[in-house]
């Protein structure tokens, strides 16, 4: 494995950890899922996984991460919209 391979794996694993931790925090009631933080964390994690896919491509993983990013982006926009309307 090259340094780029290892770096891509580390970024992908870190992104996966971010997504799973966000989900765990939501199940425990430790994060406001209607706020900006939850979807923003998920978006960042998903983008990190997609970055790793640039080195180790996998079509099914790319598809789920594209959907995950889209839903997370929608969540960020919706949360910001709700915040601006208060």
Residue carrying structure tokens 């996998």: 58
- 45-75, pLDDT tens digit by residue? 999 999 999 999 999 999 999 999 999 999 9
How far out from the chain centre does Cα 10 lie?
15
Asked if residue 86 has pLDDT above 90, the reply is: no
What integer is the mean pLDDT of 1-21? Answer: 96
- Please tell me the distance from the alpha carbon of residue 49 to that of residue 45, in angstroms, as a whole number: 6
Nearest to 48 by CA among 23, 4, 14: 14
Domain span at residue 80 reads 3-85
pLDDT at 9 over 90: yes
SS3 20: helix
Number of domains in the chain: 1
Report the distance separating Cα 11 and Cα 78, nearest Å: 27
Q: Which two tokens stand for residue 73?
A: 């982006």
Does residue 6 carry a pLDDT above 90?
Answer: yes
């Amino acid at each position: 494995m090259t340094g780029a391979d290892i770096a891509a794996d580390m970024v992908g694993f870190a992104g996966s950890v971010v997504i799973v931790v966000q989900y765990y925090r939501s199940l425990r009631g430790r994060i406001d899922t209607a706020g900006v933080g939850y979807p923003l964390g998920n978006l960042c994690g998903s983008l990190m996984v997609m970055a790793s896919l640039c080195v180790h491509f996998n079509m099914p993983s790319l598809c789920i991460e594209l959907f995950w990013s889209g839903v997370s982006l929608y969540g960020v926009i919706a949360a910001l919209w709700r915040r601006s309307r208060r």
